[in-house]
Structure 1
Amino acid sequence: MTDGEVFGLLRGGLVVSCQAYEGEPLHGPQFMSAVARSAVLGGAAGVRINGPADVEAVRAAVSVPMIGLWKDGDGDVYITPTLLHALAVARAGADIVAVDATSRPRPDGQGLAETIAGVHQAGALVMADVSTAEEGLAAAELGADCVSTTLSGYASASPPPDGPDLELVAVLAGSLDVPVFAEGRIGTPGQAARAIELGAHAVVIGGAITRPADITRRFAQGLEKARP
């Protein structure tokens, strides 16, 4: 799949982030590949998958474009924190490798430019997960193929707001020539549609779709409040 084909298939579409953490019932490649297949059956244009094992399993299960990443470590930078992580995700079959592209130092001491170059040499595209407009602009100048608002609200000590950062989506979409993906706290179809209206190339949604325990908890709490 060429770069143009990947972004063409994702244009205006929904990317479903299929992730489960260790200890959760859906954790593991077998379950994530099933979740990804379900998302595609529901109309997802692409998927976002965590970890080489899940990336490899999902690659065998679906043919839509895949954004791969590897959450690892307990430091500030944990989304594909090193070049070695990024290369492992690319080799597992991801079309696009998502990396932390904030201004925070990376654990391996590599600059973002070196990580981007390494992923390109491995034959994959790079998605820059950013928290600010300045970071998005810098990542694009360094060669990132697309930019996502994934880390807006999560790169500081302050708690993240309740809703998505649609203002950042609009600013990046109006400033960059590379595709901008809206991601982070998008919980309704209306919010997703608004992101596209503001210029997002595609919308990434995770917890509102693929985390059944959290979804169930919201309903259960709602009923609890309604009890006499």
Structure 2
Amino acid sequence: MSRNEQILQQLRGGLIVSCQALKNEPLHSSYIMSRMAVSAKEGGAAGIRANSPEDIREIKKAVELPVIALYKQDYEDSEIYITPTEREIELLMAENPEIIAMDATGRLRPGGITLEEFFPKIREKYPHQLFMADCATFEDGMNAQKLGFDIAGTTLCGYTKDTKGVSLPNLNLIRSLTEALKIPVIAEGGIWEVADLQLIMKEKVLAAVIGTAITRPREITRRYVDSI
């Protein structure tokens, strides 16, 4: 079994916990994210999703779990912020992540570059790296498979102009992708309840990602406060 097959096997049927905190969040700290990852591992997580080379470096020191790495960066000329350019990929590659995730929607990347122009060059440069396509729609997932991504995720459904307001988790999208794609599908986005996760895992997904509901106490608190 190849290294990439072993990574996918480790994730199969499991829960991936997203350990992220942006600069405007109280828990913004690579050390804190590493402890979040340890907590997730002790709770039974199969993998970690993490943002930035610094956080990934600390997390990989703390846990021996597959890491889905991304690097959120804002550019004035693009709506894309999840691993938008080759520079972010190079910085992530230096941390030897098991998987690298990037925006795989139809939106233009910085400099007006399309995914069709961007990803084939990345695939050629890093032929043995696992790449995850963060998708918003069924069409995104089909295109990602065509371009040579290894995994499709439903990460961006609800976060693009075309999908804003869609009820999450989007079980219909998850089901459609698992039925149509030959590459593995990771369910992500809006999973708050145990019942939601149980329904999702009945589909043919590789794994599911939960972030906010586990690792963002400010948002968890706000959800409860808003209810009263």
Q: What TM-score comes out, normalization by structure 1 length?
A: 0.91
- Paired with 2:139 and 2:167, the residues of 1 have a C-alpha distance of 22
Deviations 1:68-124 (A, max 9, x none): 000100531110001221121122131100011111122153422223333x34x52
Deviations 1:138-168 (A, max 9, x none): 1111110100000112121663334211111
The answer to whether the 8 A contact 2:104-2:140 is kept is yes
Supply the distance in 1 between the matched residues of 2:188 and 2:140 (Cα, whole angstroms): 15
Question: Aligned in 2, Cα 1:158/1:13: closer, same or farther, shift over 3 Å?
Answer: closer
CA shift at 1:215, angstroms? 0.7
Q: In 2 relative to 1, CA 28–106 (structure 1 residues): closer, same or farther, beyond 3 Å?
A: same
What is the CA–CA distance in structure 2 between the aligned matches of 1:103 and 1:162, rounded to whole Å?
21
1:57 aligns with 2:62: no
- The C-alpha deviation readout for 1:178-228, integer Å capped at 9, x for no partner, is 110000111112111211212111000100110001111222233xx3xxx
RMSD, aligned CA: 1.6
Match of 1:117 in 2: 124
Are 1:143 and 2:168 matched, yes or no?
A: no
Alpha-carbon distance between aligned partners in 1 of 2:138 and 2:162, rounded to the nearest angstrom: 18
- Identical pairs, percent: 39
SS state of the match for residue 220, structure 1?
helix
Q: How many residues align?
A: 221
Q: Is 1:95 aligned to 2:102, yes or no?
A: no
Equivalent pair of 1:17/1:49 in contact (CA under 8 Å): yes
- Local SS of the residue matching 2:222: helix
Matched with 1:67 is: 68
Rounded to whole Å, the distance in 1 between the matches of 2:43 and 2:167 is 26
Q: 2:172 aligned to 160, 164, 167, which one?
A: 167
Structure 1 unmatched runs, 5+: none
Q: Contact 1:101/1:112 (CA < 8 Å) preserved in 2?
A: no
> Which 4+ stretches in 1 moved above 6 angstroms?
none
Report what 1:107 is aligned to: 110
The aligned amino acid for 1:48 is R
Whether the 8 Å contact between 1:69 and 1:79 is mirrored in structure 2 is yes
State the shift of 1:24 in Å.
Answer: 2.0
Determine whether 1:178 maps to 2:183. yes
User: 8 Å contact 1:129–1:148 — kept in the other structure?
Assistant: yes
Structure-2 separation of matches of 1:42 and 1:90: 28
Moved more, 105-114 or 135-144: 105-114
Equivalent-residue separation in structure 1 for 2:47 and 2:12 (angstroms): 10
Other-structure match for 2:3: 2
Cross-structure match for 1:133: 138
Identify the residue that residue 208 of structure 2 maps to in structure 1: 203
Matches within 5 A, 1:15-54: 15-54=16-55
Letter in 1 for 2:92: V
Structure 1 residues 133 and 161: alpha-carbon distance in aligned structure 2, compared to 1, 3 A threshold: closer
Q: TM-score, normalised by structure 2?
A: 0.91
